[in-house]
């Protein structure tokens, strides 16, 4: 029998020990289901591992990996999304190796990043599948590490293998950052870090004491995908239902159908995904769709847009989507992933703030209908960790309502960056130790606390400073994309470049919508609309607005726009736009 309610979870020190516990106590319960969509209109083919079958596969792969590598060696996972990925990740941990969650070389636009990460991580072994073996071999070349093909390792390979008992403080895996503001860096996540963060996330969303089914399409190499779709279900003994990110992008209603098909569904997606569902899921696709059993929909984007939550809930209210399911959240790879979250069932917290005061570091209320107001979501409170807002220069904690850098302290904070000096980021201390004793993680994110909730305002490194005034790029981007219907939503980047007089000036590079053809569109009118909107709302004169085809603005491996890479390409002249001395072009 597959009871919907798992037994209470024990306090195991590592994820592999949880797998063994569930395999012994609930062997026939479903653990992981991967839903494959082999044809454009496929409703999905389900492939499931019970806890017993998962344990068998983990033991077999762990035994093979232990034959190929020594303790502490890195194992790169170049597998497609699926149960083989899950088993390979847990097997690396079981064997006392350090997993490096990555992706296959065929992921469009990310070959250079993959090559750079492999050069940095220096894995002894690469795990892939028979379906992707050829492309992995071609990508790695002749001087490649050893390759293990996960689905070709027989079950009996682990029959006599005895698992190691890794130190909870030892590295379990390297979580490479997405690279939205700099080159990717590998965060060393210990066994204790990932177990702590899984339990923190479960507690934050109220899933530690009630049934849950994780339903996810986020890639497993992404920090949120790995924790929500693997670590948290393993720690809870709950079912995790996976699908490929491409399957969601091709037909987003597939995600909604899986949410409807599984009771107590919990899922996470970036902000754009909710807007994408609103725009593409038609009335006929909604027919028969029931979302009344959804527990929580996590939105951890940069930023979480209140309007997106409103549009999504309005679009699917007739399908029974309960109010209070949208949970704005905040996290980062350096803290494993989860830091703060709004709780399911609570009203969506939104704050209208004065834009000029916010740029000056003060969160002052404004009328929501004021065109110069900034609308931000409250990201709730932490669970099992401490969060403070500090002045990034003086290292003094700031009171509620003042904007500063978000600092985090807790058992989920990673060990540091692999192969890098990490003290400045992971070993921060307050100027007055009594204000917050111990070492803190400096996130590089800006935020404030309002009504007891964390409100994230932007990235410290992304701030655009022109004529002594601060401008948040995501705020400028929001104004630009609302200025003209031909600007593609969430596919644009605002950033600062050196100005002609030694200061900085602002630039926007924006993709045009797929429905707009530049040969037919009035590009000059689009540019004027963007300039006018940004000038009116921000008092900011754009030095350049560049309109580019869809797919041109680079994105990180987690799907976020990479402002850093867009800026670098702009300065190299890749987009053809140039800043002229003191004059807008």
Q: Is the pLDDT of residue 548 over 70?
A: yes
Compute the residue count for the chain: 585
Say if residues 294 and 322 touch (Cβ distance below 8 Å): yes
**Cβ–Cβ under 8 Å, residues 563 and 581:** no
Dist CA 501 CA 410 (whole Å): 45
**Short-list 75, 225, 126, 195, CA closest to 557:** 225
Stronger pLDDT, 418 or 518, i.e. the higher one: 418
Note the pLDDT of residue 584. Answer: 41
Asked if the model's pLDDT at residue 393 lies above 60, the reply is yes
Q: Is the dihedral of CA 80, 82, 84, 86 positive or negative?
A: positive
| Neighbour-count burial for 526-551, b at 16+ CB within 10 Å, e otherwise | bbebbbebbeebbebebbbbbbbeee
Give the pLDDT mean for 308-321: 96
For residue range 524-545, what is the model confidence (pLDDT) as tens digits? 889 999 999 999 989 999 999 9
Work out the pLDDT band at 265, boundaries 50, 70, 90: very high
The β-bridge relationship of strands 404-409 and 441-450 is antiparallel
DSSP 48-82: EEEHHHHHHHHHHHHHHHHHH--TT-EEEE---SS
Residue of 373, 425, 403 lying closest to 470 (CA atoms): 403
| pLDDT per residue as tens digits for the range 434-448 | 888 999 999 999 999
Least trusted range by pLDDT, from 297-311, 336-350, 474-488, 565-579: 565-579
Question: Max CA-CA distance within the chain?
Answer: 73
Does the pLDDT at position 271 exceed 70? Answer: yes
Name the token pair of 376. Answer: 């931000």
What's the average model confidence in pLDDT over 318-329?
95
Which pLDDT score is estimated for 2? 38
Q: How far apart are alpha carbons 347 and 322 in whole angstroms?
A: 11
The vertex-543 CA angle with 508 and 302, nearest 5°, equals 30
Arithmetic mean of pLDDT over the chain? 91
Handedness of CA 204, 206, 208, 213 (dihedral sign): negative
Pairing of strands 441-450, 453-459: antiparallel
The three-state secondary structure class of 196 is helix
Is the confidence at residue 582, as pLDDT, over 60?
no
- Residue 521: what pLDDT? 62
CA–CA distance, 390 with 155 (Å, rounded to integer): 52
Q: Check: CB of residue 400 under 8 Å from CB of residue 364.
A: no
DSSP-based helix, strand, coil % in the chain, nearest 5:
35, 25, 40
Show Cβ contacts of residue 517 under 8 Å, excluding neighbours closer than 6 positions.
none
Eight-state DSSP code of residue 343: P
What is the H or E stretch that residue 91 is in? helix 83-94
Residues above pLDDT 90, as percent of the chain: 76
Between 341 and 489, the higher pLDDT residue: 341
Structure tokens at 154: 């027989």
Sort strands 542-548 and 504-512 into parallel, antiparallel or unpaired: parallel
Task: State residue 518's pLDDT score.
Answer: 59
Instruction: Tell me the percentage of the chain whose pLDDT exceeds 70.
Output: 94
Whether pLDDT at 560 is above 90: no
What is the average pLDDT across 98-120? 92
pLDDT of residue 287: 92
Q: Sorting pLDDT into bands at 50, 70 and 90, what band is 579?
A: very low
- pLDDT value of position 199: 96
Q: Which of 42-56, 63-77, 266-280, 461-475 has the lowest mean pLDDT?
A: 461-475
Query: What secondary structure letter does DSSP report for 555?
Result: B
Which of the four pLDDT bands, split at 50, 70 and 90, describes residue 580?
Answer: very low
H or E segment to which residue 310 belongs? helix 306-316
Region 424-442: mean pLDDT is 94
Which alpha helices (H) appear in 373-490, and where do they start and end? 423-426, 473-483
Tell me the C-alpha distance between 144 and 140, whole Å: 5
- Which residues, other chains included, contact 210 with Cβ-Cβ below 8 Å and sequence gap of 6+? 264
* Cα 198 from Cα 473, distance rounded (Å): 32
Q: How confident is the model at residue 181 (pLDDT cuts 50, 70, 90)?
A: low
Evaluate if residue 558 carries a pLDDT over 80. no
Prior bond to 363 cis, omega within 30?
Answer: no
Between CA 234 and CA 471 the distance in angstroms is 42
Dump pLDDT digits (tens) for 462-507: 889 898 888 999 999 999 999 998 999 889 999 999 987 677 899 9
pTM of the model: 0.90
Contact 303, 278 (CB under 8 A): no
pLDDT tens readout for residues 275-302: 999 999 999 999 999 999 999 999 987 6
What is the distance between the alpha carbons of residues 442 and 235, in angstroms, rounded to a whole number? 28
Residues 6+ away with beta carbon under 8 Å from 99: 74, 75, 77, 88, 89, 92, 93, 172, 173, 174
Could you tell me where the beta strands, DSSP code E, fall in 273-380? 294-299, 326-331, 338-341, 350-354, 373-377
User: What was the pLDDT predicted at 335?
Assistant: 97
Most confident of 120-129, 173-182, 268-277: 120-129
What are the structure tokens assigned to 260, written together? 């409807």
187-201, 400-414, 508-522: which range is least confident on average? Answer: 508-522
407 neighbors 441 (Cβ within 8 angstroms): yes
* Residues 6 or more apart in contact with residue 343 via CB below 8 angstroms: 204, 205, 206, 327, 380
């Amino acid at each position: 029998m597959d009871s919907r309610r798992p037994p209470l979870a024990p306090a195991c020190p590592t994820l592999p020990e949880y797998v063994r516990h569930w395999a012994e106590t609930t062997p026939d319960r479903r653990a992981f289901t991967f839903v494959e969509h082999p044809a454009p209109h496929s409703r999905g083919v389900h492939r499931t591992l019970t806890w017993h079958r998962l344990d068998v596969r983990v033991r077999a792969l762990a035994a093979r990996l232990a034959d190929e590598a020594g303790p502490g060696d890195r194992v790169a996972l170049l597998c497609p999304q699926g149960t083989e990925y899950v088993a390979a990740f847990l097997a690396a941990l079981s064997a006392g190796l350090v997993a490096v969650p990555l992706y296959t070389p065929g992921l469009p636009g990310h070959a250079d990043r993959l090559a750079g990460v492999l050069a940095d991580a220096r894995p002894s072994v690469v795990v892939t599948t028979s379906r992707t073996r050829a492309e992995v071999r071609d990508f790695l070349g002749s001087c490649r590490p050893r390759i293990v093909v996960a689905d070709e390792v027989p079950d009996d390979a682990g029959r006599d293998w005895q698992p190691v008992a890794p130190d909870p403080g030892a590295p379990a895996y390297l979580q490479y950052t997405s690279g939205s503001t700099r080159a990717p860096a590998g965060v060393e996540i210990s066994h204790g870090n990932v177990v702590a963060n899984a339990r923190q996330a479960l507690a934050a969303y109220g899933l530690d004491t009630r049934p849950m089914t994780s339903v996810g399409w986020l890639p497993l190499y992404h920090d949120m995908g790995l924790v929500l779709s693997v670590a948290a279900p393993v720690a809870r003994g709950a079912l995790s239902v996976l699908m490929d990110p491409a399957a969601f992008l091709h037909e987003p209603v597939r995600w909604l159908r899986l949410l409807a098909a599984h009771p107590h569904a919990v899922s996470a997606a970036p902000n754009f995904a909710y807007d994408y569902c609103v725009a593409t899921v038609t009335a006929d696709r909604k027919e028969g769709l029931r979302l009344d059993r959804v527990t929580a929909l996590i939105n951890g984007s940069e930023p979480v847009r209140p309007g997106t939550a409103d549009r999504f809930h309005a679009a699917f209210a007739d399908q029974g989507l309960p109010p209070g399911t949208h949970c704005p959240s905040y996290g980062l790879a350096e803290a494993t992933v989860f830091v703060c979250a709004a709780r399911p069932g609570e009203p969506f917290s939104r704050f209208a703030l004065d834009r000029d005061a916010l740029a000056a570091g003060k969160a002052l209320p404004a009328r929501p209908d004021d065109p110069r107001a900034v609308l931000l979501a409250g990201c709730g409170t932490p669970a099992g960790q401490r969060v403070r807002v500090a002045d990034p220069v003086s290292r003094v904690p700031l009171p509620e309502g003042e904007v500063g850098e978000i600092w985090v302290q807790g058992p989920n904070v990673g060990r540091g960056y692999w192969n890098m000096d990490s003290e400045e980021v992971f070993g921060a201390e307050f100027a007055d130790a009594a204000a917050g004793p111990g070492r803190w993680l400096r996130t590089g994110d800006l935020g404030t606390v309002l009504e007891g909730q964390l409100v994230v305002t932007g990235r410290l490194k992304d701030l655009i400073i022109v004529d002594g005034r601060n401008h948040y790029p995501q705020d400028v981007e929001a104004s630009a994309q609302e200025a003209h219907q031909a600007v593609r939503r969430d596919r644009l980047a605002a950033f600062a470049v050196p100005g002609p007089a030694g200061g900085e000036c602002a630039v926007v590079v924006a993709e045009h919508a797929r429905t707009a053809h530049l040969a037919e569109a009035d590009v000059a009118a689009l540019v004027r609309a963007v300039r006018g909107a940004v000038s009116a709302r921000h008092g900011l004169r754009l030095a350049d607005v560049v309109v580019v085809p869809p797919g041109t603005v680079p994105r990180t491996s987690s799907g976020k726009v990479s402002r850093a890479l867009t800026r670098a390409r702009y300065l190299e002249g890749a987009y053809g736009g140039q800043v002229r001395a003191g004059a807008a072009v």
